[in-house]
Amino acid sequence: MNAAQAAPAEPSQDAALVAALFAVDPAGLGGVALRASADPGRDQWLALVKALLPAGVPLRRIPLHISDSALLGGLDLAATLQAGRPVSQRGVLAQADGGVVMLAMAERLSAATAARLAAVLDCGEVLLERDGLALRQPARLGMVALDEGQEDEEQLPAALLDRLAFHLHLQSGIPESSVYWSRADIEAARLRLPNTGIDAQIVQALCATAQALGVASLRAPLLALRVARAAAALVGEAAASADHATLAARLVLAPRATRLPPPPPPETQPEDADDSAQTPDDMSEPEPTQDASPEPEAGSEGYQALAETVLAATQAAVPAGLLAALQVGQASRARAQTAGRAGAVRKNQNRGRPIGARRGEPRQGARLNVLETLRAAAPWQTLRRLTRAERSSARPAQTGQLRIEVRRDDFHVTKFKQNSQTTTIFVVDASGSSALNRLAEAKGAVELLLADCYVRRDQVAVIAFRDKQAELLLSPTRSLARAKRSLAGLPGGGGTPLASGLDAALTLAQQVQRRGDTPVIVLLTDGRGNIARSGAPGRVQANADAIEAARQIKSAGLTALLLDTSPQAQAMAQALAQAMGAHYLPLPHAGARQLSQAVKAATGASQHGY
Amino acid sequence: MTFPFSAIVGQDEMKLAMLVCAVDSSIGGVLVFGDRGTGKSTAVRALAGLLPKMRAVVGCRYACDPAKAGGGCESCAGLRSGSGGPLRSHLIPVPVVDLPLGATEDRVVGALDLERALTQGVKAFEPGLLARANRGFLYIDEVNLLEDHLVDLLIDVAASGENVVEREGLSVRHPARFVLVGSGNPEEGELRPQLLDRFGLSVEVRTPEDLAARVEVVRRRDAYEQDPAGFVLQWQREENRTRKRILLGRSRLSQVEVPQPARERASQLCMALGTDGLRGDLTLMRTARALAALQGDSCVADSHLRQAAAPSLRHRLRRNPLDDAGSTVRVQRALTELMGSA
C-alpha cells in the first residue's frame, strides 16, 4: 500500500518491454513515440521491434515531407496510360496494412500530415478521394514516431501523441538481460489476445489513475487498457490482472501526467486519519466526494485497493523533472502552443518552399506547375483527340496529332509554404507624462527597431495613445518609410489612456494572427496610465484597467516587449510587463544594440519552429 | 458497423445539436470543436447509423426527393424523358459522406469519368463527394486543416445548394444540399469567419471530469471493440427509440407554433450580443422550433430559446477585446439579462 514498495521503473528495462507489447498489437496500441537521438541505441530498439514482429509483416518508412499521393495513394499515371484504364497506386499507409510505419523526424511533422495519420489510426483504413478515384483501403497499422527533438518545445503534434500508447524516452541501449521474448512468443500472444479478458475493476482503476494524474484525454485509459490486455497475453494469462494494470499505467499514463495526485487525506487532515483508522479499507465510504478526488459510486473494496496500488506505482514512474518543468513552464508553454498553431505556417502564392500543387490558373503571381499540368492532361489525350477529330472531320488530318493537348482545366499551380511573417506592432505612449524629450527617444528607439525589421522583412504597425484614446497610425505594412513618417508627425501631450492602447494592440495582434502571421507587441511607455477605459481620468482605475488589459495580452499568448521610457525604471511599468508576460527593458539604459537584441530575442522566440 | 449513437456517454449538447439538425436540415449543420479524445468523430459517424431512411428517385445520381423531383435535376429529367412514366422511388439510407483531408478538388466537385474516357473515349460526368452528400450530411474531420481552396468551394456550394462543374466542354449543374458537419481541435487553428457562419450550430465538447462517466466511456468503447456486433445489438432498442424521436420531431416540426414574443426575444438576444447578420436570428429561431418538436412541445417557449442560444450564437459573436470571457459565458450572460436566471 505504500509507494516505495511499488515496482521500480527501469527505463532501459521498459524499452524492451514496450517493443514486445507493441509487437503484440501494433494497430490496437497505435504505436510508440520514440524520443531518442539517431544513435546505435535507437537502431538497436528498432531492430528489436523488427525481430519481434511476425515474419512478412510490412514495415514502411515515411519521410518527413511526404506528398499526399505517396502517403495516401492516387492515380498511377504510367500504368493508367499503358493499360488504357484507371490504375490506382497504393500509398505507403495502405501498403503497410497489418504492419508498422516509421515516421522519420516526427517532431517536425506538420499538423496536416499528423491529421492524416491520425485519421488512419482511428479508422484503420485509408479513405482515398483523389485523382478521380474513390477507394477505401484497409490500413490497420502501428506507428513508430521517431522523435529527435532536443528541447521540450520540439514535440510530436499533439493529435498524434494522443493516439500512440507509448511515449518512450530512450537514453541508452537495451540491456541484453531485458529481452525476454522471441518472435514465437509474440505470435503466441497475438493468438491469445482476442480472448484475453479484463476485469471491470481494472477499467475503473486505470480511469481513476488517469484522472488523478490529470490525464484528460480518454484515449489514454483506453490505450492503457489495451496495453494491460497485451501484457496478459504476452505472459500467457487468460485475463489481465492487477500487475498488468500497474504496468500499463506506468507505461501509458505516467508519461502523460500533468499533475501529481492530491496527497492522501491522512497527511493533510488529522481527523480524516482517525476516520480511516476506524474504517478498514474493506468498507466503502459513501461520503460526499472530497474536493479533488472524486470517488465512483461503486467503491468496492477491491477497486479501492487496486486503484491505490496502480496509482502509487504510476506516480513513482512519473519523471520528477517533468512535473517540475510543467509547473514552472506553464506560461512559456502557453506561448509555445500559440506559436505552434496553424497560423505560424502560412501559405503564400508565390514564395517559400513548394509543398505540392493544386488545380488552378497561373494568375496573381501563382506559378504554373508544368509537370503536374501535363500529368493532369495525360489521361484525357485520347478523348480530346477523338473530340477534335469529330469536330474537324471536314478538314484534312493535321500534323498536330502528336501534340499534347492541354486545356485550362489541366492547369496546376505550385503551392508554397512560407515561414510565417512577423508583424511588429509598436504601441507608443505619446502622452504628456511621457514628456516630449522622452517621446523623441522613443521614436529613436523605434527607428532602430525598424531597421531591424527591414533586415528581417517583417511588417510593422504603429498604434499611438494619448489624450483620451488609442489610434492606429499605421496598419501593418512593409513600408518602413511610412512607419517613420507616421511617427515623425506624432504630436505629444495629454493624458495616458494606457488600457485603450493595450486593447488596440490586442485587437490588431489577433487580426494579424488570424491572417496567419505572428504578431509581436513592442510597447513604449512609462507605465503611468491616468485615463481609464471609460475615458474618465483617475490614476487608480486607469492602472487597474491597464493591468487587466495586459493580462489579456498574456492570456492570448502573445509575445510582447515593454520598453520603459521613464528616466528611472518604474515599478508600475515593471508590474505591467509582468502582467503582460512581456520582456522588460528600461530605455535609459538600453543602447541601440541592446534594444535590437531584445526585440530579436522576442521575435526570434516566436518564429521558432518555422 | 459503427458505434451506436445512443451509447455515447454524456456530451448532451453535441448529441442534441445533431438530433436537431436531423429534425430540421435547414438549420445548416454542426461544428464540433473541442478536446482530443472526446469522441467527436465517433458521434458524427454514429449519426449515420441512426438516421431514418429517406425516399429517393430510383436511378437519380443525386438521390433526389421524389416529392420535389420537378426541380432542375438533370438526372431526374433524363429519367423522366427516358421512361415517359412517373419516376419510381425507393428508400435509401441517408448519406453521411466523409470528406477526408488530402481529397483533391476533382473528387469533391466531381469531374469527367476517367474510366469511360480512357476505355470508351466518352465524356461523362462522374459525380463527386458533394453530389453524394446531397440531402445528407457532409462530414469534415479536422475541418480547420482543410485546404483553403476546398474551403472556398464549400462556402460557395453550401450557400447556393447547387454545384456547378465545367470540364472539357461539359457543363453540369446538380443539387448539392447537405448538412455540413465539421469537427476539430481549436489548438490546430481557427476557422475563417465565412466558413464558421455556414455552420448553423456550434458546440464545444470537453472531456468529462466525472470519474464514473469516464469509466463508462472507456468501458463501453472497450465492449464495442471486443464484440462490435454484440454491442450494437445490445443498443439496438435504444437506437430505435432515438430514431423514433427524430421521426416524431420531424412530423411535429411544421405544427410547432412560434409566438410573436418568442420571435422578439430571439431578436433582442441577437441584438444584445451584437451577432453579425440575420443568420444568427434565423438559426436561433429554427433551432428553438426543432427543439420544441423534438421534445414534444407545441409552442416555442423561453426554455427552448435558452437551450438553443449558445449553440446557435456562440460562433457568431464579434470578438470583444474588453471581454476575455468565453463566448459561451457571454451568451449565458445575455440570456440572464434578458430572461432572468433559469
State what percent of residues in chain A have pLDDT above 90: 24
Does some domain include residue B220? no
Best A62, A129, A227 member to test B by mutation, with max B CBs in 10 Å, is A129
**For A199-257, what is each residue's pLDDT tens digit?**
888 999 999 999 988 888 999 999 999 999 999 999 999 999 889 999 999 999 988 88
Give the separation between CA A460 and CA A480, rounded to whole angstroms: 7
The phi, psi pair for B55, rounded to 5°, reads: -90, 130
**Rounded to a whole number, what is the distance in Å from the CA of B89 to chain A's nearest CA?**
26
Q: Amino acid letter at A269?
A: Q
Cβ of residue B53 closer than 8 Å to a chain A Cβ: no
pLDDT at A338: 35
Candidate from A86, A217, A295 with C-beta closest to B35: A217
- Cell readout for A81 is 496510360
Best A207, A297, A580 member to test B by mutation, with max B CBs in 10 Å, is A207
- The dihedral built from the CA positions of residue B22, B23, B28 and B29, taken in this order, carries a sign that is negative
Question: What angle, rounded to 10 degrees, do the helices at A480-488 and A436-456 form?
Answer: 180
Q: Are A152 and A325 in contact (CB under 8 A)?
A: yes
Q: Percent helix, strand and coil across chain A, each rounded to 5? A: 50, 20, 30
Give the separation between CA A328 and CA A383, rounded to whole angstroms: 66
Give the separation between CA A166 and CA B35, rounded to whole angstroms: 20
Give the separation between CA A26 and CA A29, rounded to whole angstroms: 5
Q: Are A239 and A196 in contact (CB under 8 A)?
A: yes
The yes-or-no verdict on residue A270 having pLDDT over 50 is no
Look at residues B194, B275, B199 and name the one whose alpha carbon lies nearest to residue B21. Answer: B199
**For B236-245, what is each residue's pLDDT tens digit?**
999 999 999 9
**For A167-185, what is each residue's pLDDT tens digit?**
998 887 787 777 888 999 9
State what percent of residues in chain A have pLDDT above 70: 75
Residue A331 burial (C-beta neighbours within 10 Å; 0-12, 13-18, 19+): exposed
Does A296 sit within 8 Å of B36, measured CB to CB? no
Helices (H), A458-514: 480-488, 498-514
**Are B34 and B154 members of one domain?**
yes
Range of A280-294, B145-159, B184-198, B324-338 with top mean pLDDT: B145-159
Q: How confident is the model at residue B297 (pLDDT cuts 50, 70, 90)?
A: very high
pLDDT at A232: 95
Domain ends where: B179, B205, B231?
B205
Q: Are B215 and A203 in contact (CB under 8 A)?
A: yes
Q: Are A594 and A512 in contact (CB under 8 A)?
A: no
Q: What is the ipTM of this complex?
A: 0.90
pLDDT, greater one: A557 or A31: A31
Give the separation between CA A96 and CA A535, rounded to whole angstroms: 65
The yes-or-no verdict on residue A6 having pLDDT over 50 is no
Does some domain include residue B66? no
Give the separation between CA A183 and CA A186, rounded to whole angstroms: 5
- Cell readout for A150 is 532536443
pLDDT at A3: 33
Look at residues A507, A231, A160, A57 and name the one whose alpha carbon lies nearest to residue B187. Answer: A160
CATH classification of A196-258+302-328, choosing from 2.60.40.420, 3.90.1150.10, 1.10.8.80, 1.10.260.40?
1.10.8.80
**For A116-150, what is each residue's pLDDT tens digit?**
999 999 999 999 998 888 899 999 999 999 998 87
A382 has which bridge partners? Answer: none
Q: Are A55 and A186 in contact (CB under 8 A)?
A: no
pLDDT at A315: 73
The secondary structure element, H or E, covering residue B80 is helix B74-83
Range of A347-351, A402-406, A504-508, B229-233 with top mean pLDDT: B229-233
Strand spans (E) along A362-501: 412-419, 422-429, 459-466, 469-477
Does some domain include residue B212? no
- Cell readout for A295 is 470517488
B11 CB-near residues (< 8 Å, 6+ apart): B38, B39, B43, B205
CATH 3.40.50.300 holds for A3-181: yes
**Are B201 and B264 members of one domain?**
no
Nearest CA in chain B to A159: B36
Give the separation between CA B335 and CA B268, rounded to whole angstroms: 10
Average pLDDT along chain B: 88
B chain contacts of residue A133, beta-carbon cutoff 8 Å: 107
Does A220 sit within 8 Å of B324, measured CB to CB? no
The yes-or-no verdict on residue A187 having pLDDT over 90 is yes
**Are B176 and B311 members of one domain?**
no
Q: Percent helix, strand and coil across chain B, each rounded to 5? A: 55, 15, 30
Pairing of strands B170-175, A422-429: unpaired
pLDDT, greater one: A408 or A434: A408
Q: Are A67 and A102 in contact (CB under 8 A)?
A: no
Q: Is B192 helix (H, G, I), strand (E, B) or coil?
A: coil
Q: Count the neighbouring beta carbons within 10 Å of the beta carbon of residue A278.
A: 8
A407 has which bridge partners? Answer: none
Nearest CA in chain B to A337: B187
pLDDT, greater one: A110 or A21: A21
B chain contacts of residue A407, beta-carbon cutoff 8 Å: 168
Does some domain include residue B224? no
Domain ends where: B187, B205, B223?
B205
Candidate from A112, A132, A211 with C-beta closest to B107: A132
Q: In what order do the strands lie in the sheet with A353-359?
A: A345-348, A412-419, A353-359
pLDDT, greater one: A85 or B193: A85
- Cell readout for A73 is 495513394
The b/e string for B54-65 (b: 16+ C-beta within 10 A; e otherwise) is bebbebbbbbbb
**Rounded to a whole number, what is the distance in Å from the CA of A400 to chain B's nearest CA?**
19
**Rounded to a whole number, what is the distance in Å from the CA of A480 to chain B's nearest CA?**
28
pLDDT at B342: 63
**Are B27 and B153 members of one domain?**
yes
Q: What is the mean pLDDT of residues B65-83?
A: 77
Residue A227 burial (C-beta neighbours within 10 Å; 0-12, 13-18, 19+): buried
CATH 3.40.50.300 range(s) for chain A read 3-181
Distances from the Cα of A377 to the Cαs of A72, A131, B22, in angstroms? 22, 12, 42
pLDDT at B76: 83
Q: How confident is the model at residue A499 (pLDDT cuts 50, 70, 90)?
A: confident
**Read out DSSP for A12-69?**
HHHHHHHHHHHHH-HHHH-EEEEE--SSHHHHHHHHHHHHHSPTT--EEEE-TT--HH
The yes-or-no verdict on residue A289 having pLDDT over 70 is no
Nearest CA in chain B to A509: B321
CATH topology of domain A421-607: Rossmann fold (3.40.50)
Does some domain include residue B221? no
Does A200 sit within 8 Å of B219, measured CB to CB? yes
**Is B116 an annotated catalytic residue?**
no
| The model scores a pTM over 0.80 | no
Does A119 sit within 8 Å of B119, measured CB to CB? no
Strand spans (E) along chain B: 30-34, 54-57, 89-92, 96-98, 111-112, 125-126, 137-141, 162-167, 170-175, 179-184, 201-205
Q: Are A33 and A166 in contact (CB under 8 A)?
A: yes
What is the number of H-type helices and E-type strands within chain B?
15, 11
Judged by phi (left if over 0) then psi (alpha if -120 to 50, else beta), residue A497 lies in beta
Q: Amino acid letter at A346?
A: R
Residue A280 burial (C-beta neighbours within 10 Å; 0-12, 13-18, 19+): exposed
Give the separation between CA A497 and CA A507, rounded to whole angstroms: 16
CATH of the domain at B31: 3.40.50.300
Q: Are B212 and A297 in contact (CB under 8 A)?
A: yes
Give the separation between CA A67 and CA A79, rounded to whole angstroms: 19
Domain ends where: B172, B205, B238?
B205
**For A575-592, what is each residue's pLDDT tens digit?**
888 888 888 877 665 555
**Total domain count for chain B?**
2
CATH of the domain at B276: 1.10.8.80
Pairing of strands A125-130, A133-138: antiparallel
pLDDT at A12: 64
Q: What is the mean pLDDT of residues B275-291?
A: 89
Does some domain include residue B324? yes
Q: Count the neighbouring beta carbons within 10 Å of the beta carbon of residue B189.
A: 20
**Rounded to a whole number, what is the distance in Å from the CA of B209 to chain A's nearest CA?**
8
Does some domain include residue B266? yes
pLDDT at B21: 94
Report the alpha-carbon angle B255-B260-B261, nearest 5. Answer: 120
**For B165-188, what is each residue's pLDDT tens digit?**
887 778 889 999 999 999 988 777
A423 CB-near residues (< 8 Å, 6+ apart): A458, A459, A460, A461, A476, A512, A517, A518, A519, A520
Average pLDDT along chain A: 77
The yes-or-no verdict on residue B164 having pLDDT over 80 is yes
For B312, the domain range is: 260-337
Q: Amino acid letter at A150?
A: Q
Q: Which of B279, B289, B318, B333 is catalytic?
A: B279
Distances from the Cα of A302 to the Cαs of A239, A280, A282, A307, B342, in angstroms? 16, 13, 8, 8, 42
Does some domain include residue B215? no
Q: How confident is the model at residue A275 (pLDDT cuts 50, 70, 90)?
A: very low
pLDDT at A329: 39
Q: Are A544 and A579 in contact (CB under 8 A)?
A: no
- The dihedral built from the CA positions of residue B106, B108, B109 and B110, taken in this order, carries a sign that is positive
Give the separation between CA A355 and CA A438, rounded to whole angstroms: 48
The phi, psi pair for A457, rounded to 5°, reads: 60, 35
**For B96-143, what is each residue's pLDDT tens digit?**
999 999 898 889 999 888 888 888 888 888 899 999 999 999 999 999
A73 has which bridge partners? Answer: A90
